[in-house]
Structure 1
Amino acid sequence: MIVRIMGEGQVRLDDSHLTELNKLDDELLVEMESGDGPGFRRTLHSLLDKVREMGTPLPDDALEPSELILPAPDATLTEVRDLLSDGGLIPG
């Protein structure tokens, strides 16, 4: 799966990591719904760090279609809320 982190680039991520990422995504969703700004910020950074850690960066000149688009690390709660589907940022 190709994942884009807005403002950073793309990484190739094995589908087997989705379960772990979904746990963080679920936390992020709860924090957003409750308006927990500090928790939201912490969990968003944890989610992005996990994607970077488990993924393999693609070259900057690679133009692969992204199957998943994640917000930039400095995205606001409102901006992320606009990106959310019913199930969160991560499918599954």
Structure 2
Amino acid sequence: MDNFPLACCVQGDYGYKIIMVSETDTIAEVVKKALAGVVGYLVAPFPENTIFHARIHGSDDLLPNDVTVKDANLLKMEAIDISMGA
């Protein structure tokens, strides 16, 4: 059940959006959910096969895509920045 709120800001957006995820979602799934809410509406579509990275706001460390929200020790309403990677 998606009952875990995160504040996500996708590169190119003007601010954070609250998305609901599950503690069992991986970071890759969090990124996908965040993109679904803004790409084509508030952010121009990204090139096909774009790789995205997520990090806790203020941190330089990337969150591994295969780790779950719970295993990443994220807090409810944690601010997550999502950006294009290499």
Q: Tell me if TM exceeds 0.5.
A: no
Q: Report the structure, 1 or 2, having the larger helix content.
A: 1
Identify, as 1 or 2, the structure richer in strand.
2
TM-score scaled by length of structure 2: 0.32
Larger CA Rg, structure 1 vs 2: 1
Question: TM-score scaled by structure 1?
Answer: 0.31
